[in-house]
Structure formats: C-alpha cells, structure tokens
Amino acid sequence: MYTPQDLSPQTAENLQQRVRDLASLMTRMAESLHQGEPVELQHLADEIGAVQTTVQGISRQLEEHPLLADSERYVTRVSDIIESCKVINTRQEAIDQLKRLQLIKSFEQSDQEALGQLQDRVGTILHTLTNGSVEERREAMDNVLKQESPFRALYEMINRPEELSDDRWMDAQRIIIDSFGRNVALAVLRGRAR
C-alpha cells in the first residue's frame, strides 16, 4: 500500500536509492542462482512490488500537482520523477519568496504607488509560476531566483540584509532601483517597508 509523500528532492533521492538497492539485490540473486545456491525469490518479488507501488504512487501524485504544467505531469520513469520533484521544490522556493514580497507594507503615503506597482509585478509572476506553460514557468523561476533577479535582490534586502556582503548590498540596491524604482529602494533601505 502506498502512502502519499512530500514531493521533495529528498523523496526523489530516496526513490533513486531504492531502485539502486533493488538492482543490487537482483545482481546478488542472479550471482547466487548462477552458482547454484538457493535463493528466496519471494523476497525479490516483494521488493520489486514495493518499488513499483512507490513509483506508481509518486506518478499519481505528480499528475495532480499544481506546480507542474500539464505536459510535465505524466511521468513514470524514475529519472523523470526525480526531475519533477526537483522542479516542484524550485518552483515552491520561488513562490515562497514572491509571497514574502507580497507582504511588504509601508505606512508612508509616498511609498504606496511604487509598492502597488511592485505588488502587481509579483502577482503576474506568481500567476505565471502556477498557470503558465513549461517554458513560461521556467522563465519565471529564473526571473525570481537568478543572482541578478530584482525579486531576489529585494527578498534578500527585506529578509536578511545583515547577511549580505558589502558588494552584494550595493548590487542589490542597484538592481532594485533599476527594476522597481528609487521609491521602493529607499523605502526598503530606510526601513519604512518591511
């Protein structure tokens, strides 16, 4: 019986290890048979059945996962399942960062228009990550997670400015100004927007 799992890279690694263990067991049993030694084939059949059940269960979970585009949902090969779990994890990371950016508020009236425009852009990217084609989702992930991303720079400045090197602080400031404008950058840098 299959128990639904969290579709994470760890789940994918565990599945990959189970497949390797099964292959190793099959090799050992084949060697034992070749040498005329007795083997317990029921154990092998049980292991094969357990791996098949896990692969089928994860495949069914992937078919229904909202972070996968329609063309990504129907996978049955272990390597494709592993890749899908990694994609889900990366997309979720991008979504989590964007949702944090949606929470940015400032009580200064002069910041409201610029922050409203920022919220609109964040909303557009979130929509693409959850509703776009495979290529659109991939591009949206890059736009959020790559080093030069204005969304990443803003996220870093809001969430962990003390961890930024001086160079990254300056780069992030420049990126934010270039992409979101001086008002957003000043609101964040002066601590008015959090």
Which residue segment(s) compose the domain that 98 sits in?
87-189
- Please tell me whether residues 112 and 175 are part of one structural domain: yes
Compute the distance between CA of residue 93 and CA of residue 98 in angstroms, rounded to an integer: 9
- Please tell me whether residues 131 and 173 are part of one structural domain: yes
Q: Which residue has the tokens 């972070």?
A: 67
Quote the number of domains for the chain: 2
- Please tell me whether residues 13 and 94 are part of one structural domain: no
- Please tell me whether residues 28 and 99 are part of one structural domain: no
Per-residue pLDDT of 168-186, as tens digits, reads 999 999 999 999 998 898 8
- Please tell me whether residues 54 and 92 are part of one structural domain: no
- Please tell me whether residues 117 and 53 are part of one structural domain: no
- Please tell me whether residues 185 and 102 are part of one structural domain: yes
Per-residue pLDDT of 7-51, as tens digits, reads 888 998 999 999 999 999 999 999 999 999 988 889 999 999 999
Task: List, in sequence order, the alpha helices (H) in the chain.
Answer: 9-34, 41-63, 78-102, 112-131, 134-145, 150-159, 166-180, 182-189
The answer to whether position 69 is within a domain reads no
b/e 35-71 (16+ beta carbons within 10 angstroms → b): eeeeeeeeebeebeeebeebbeebbebbeeeebbbee
Query: Count of alpha carbons within 13 Å of 70, Cβ hemisphere only?
Result: 3
pTM of the model: 0.83
The answer to whether position 172 is within a domain reads yes
| pLDDT exceeds 90 at position 99 | yes
